[in-house]
Amino acid sequence: MAAPPLLLLKDIRLTFGGKPLLDGAEISVSPGERLGLVGRNGSGKSTLLKIAAGAVEPDDGARFIQPGATVRYLAQEPDFSGFPTALSFVEAGLEAGDDGHRAQYLLDALGVSPDADTSHLSGGEARRAALARALAPEPDILLLDEPTNHLDLPAIEWLEDELRASRSALVLISHDRRFLETLTRATLWLDRGRTRRLGKGFAAFEAWRDEVLAQEELDRHKLDRQIEREKDWLRYGVTARRKRNVGRLARLDDMREQRRTATRAQGSVKLTVTEGETSGALVLEAKNVSKAFGERTIVRDFSTRVARGNRIGLVGANGAGKTTLVNLLTGQLKPDSGTVRIGSTVEIATIDQRRASLDPEMSLKDALTGGGGDTVDVGGGTKHVMSYMKDFLFSPEQAGSPVKALSGGERGRLLLAKALATPANLLVLDEPTNDLDLETLDLLQEMVADHPGTVILVSHDRDFLDRTVEAVIVAEGDGRWVEYAGGYSDMVAQRGQGVQARTVERATAQRAEKPAASPPAPAARKKLSFKDQHALDTLPKRIEELEAEIARNEKLLADPSLFTRDPKAFEAATDAIGKAASERAAAEDRWLELEMLREELAAG
């Protein structure tokens, strides 16, 4: 006989601004269950999870929790009032009988200093501290809303292992397909205010959803009711896009096989590329490139050759130097040694993690056209703005809507639409999947696949890497970067382990290799020097200042008339962005180096 549910929501109804958000939604969570909660951005997933946590009261419906059952909810904006340090905040979530050591363990694993002042935590640190607080008590039910936000690949894989080993029942909202596929055993789809349950994990969800939508369409035809395709395009257009992507994945497999062959026959490849350089076949070439900041080497003796049409992914832990390597390859940063050659006809467009700013009062149409006309310049030609909007899942009715009325996911799509209309034959994408819903990720995958030039992608999204790139360059530590043919999963198969496991193994091996009877190092350190501790404390603020400086100058460059109106200001803003980006990368790398040293000293 099945165990009674620990948590039950029945016939939940909630209305915002006269429009029903939830209209009969239900959740049932049994002991140890792993449930994925999915749906489009704006469908009410986060609100439903808040109702399950007791943080929001519905207009109607019932909420039941088994007496004595413990629930922990990952809040998007945690309240640190009354907690001076990150450790005190996490420990406050523990109850009598809980393991008091888990607070320290989880903060260390998530890269947050237990002594960190809560009033000075960055957004990412605050988010990770909130995740530690939710996990620490090992509750009966964990309600997690986007737990992988602000986590790098090693941390995501660590979190997967932690949740897989947990006894807690799990209700999970995430836009990370691989994360959902790994952890879920059932899927709850929230659509048009109602929930439908699939008794299988997320891996089976998308095919099932498409079948449901196809059956709905067929039933409507049987009832002789014409489907208003323009209104339903946002929902049904995704299905056709996914089917087209099956063919793209097959072509990507062919590209990967070609790259494997090229890797085995480097001599002939060099001859081919050399012969084609004048026609633009060579995009960039790095030979024995090295770069260090202080005593830390970020890139050591790295060589690669990128040809027209290649799709290359860069992966590694935060602070490994991915942005530094991209800046070296694209000529924004000079190497200490070695050479980088960029093709003479290469035009580069970059979408960084901050992306461009948008005027909240501007209409969607004006944001895409620059405030005038009805067309957008795309791929060397023009396209009507309404058609281009539909390419990015916007309906014609949204053309006059102000940017401030768009959801977070819709703003992400708008930024991508603007950036991808920039003329370029080398597209550099630095964490482009942040805060995008699954449908938008499908769209971005299509945009990357259809891009006529070359793509360099920095991402922590394993599934997206598998779907888009033909080779992966991985940070192996100590400044070494190694290229593997294939996507992320191919790289793991070739290395035998993922990024985190390889990093831990290397650190353990290095400690084991130290001679047992070696003489003590002179002036052995038991704690950070005053200078290093001051740098560790002040670098996060400096990084934030540099990010703000970059954002200010990007806002200036967003003005399309700046170059013609004030060329000197345009040049100054461009130079300032380059200098600030380089300084930010150096500051991030220095902070990581000091944080690792602090942890090593603390461990004895």
- For the annotated binding site for ATP, the residues are 39-46, 316-323
CB atoms within 10 A of CB 139: 22
Give the tokens for residue 145.
């809303």
Could you tell me if 389 and 401 are in contact, meaning their C-beta atoms sit under 8 angstroms apart? Answer: no
Could you tell me if 443 and 413 are in contact, meaning their C-beta atoms sit under 8 angstroms apart? Answer: yes
Longest dimension (CA), the chain: 87
The whole-angstrom separation of Cα 391 and Cα 234 is 10
| Cross-strand pairs, 173 | 145
Could you tell me if 13 and 60 are in contact, meaning their C-beta atoms sit under 8 angstroms apart? Answer: yes
Q: Which residues are annotated as a binding site?
A: 39-46, 316-323
User: Which amino acid makes up residue 517?
Assistant: A
Nearest to 142 by CA among 174, 120, 171, 110: 171
Nearest to 149 by CA among 106, 110, 92, 108: 110
Interstrand relation of 471-477 and 480-485 (parallel, antiparallel or unpaired): antiparallel
The whole-angstrom separation of Cα 282 and Cα 271 is 12
The whole-angstrom separation of Cα 479 and Cα 455 is 23
The CA angle 561-564-565, to the nearest 5 degrees, is: 75
Give the tokens for residue 536.
């560790």
The residues, any chain, with a CB within 8 Å of residue 561's CB and separated by 6 or more, are: none
Give the start-end residues of each E strand in 241-347.
Answer: 282-293, 296-307, 311-315, 337-342
| Cross-strand pairs, 356 | none
Handedness of CA 391, 392, 395, 397 (dihedral sign): negative
User: Which amino acid makes up residue 90?
Assistant: V
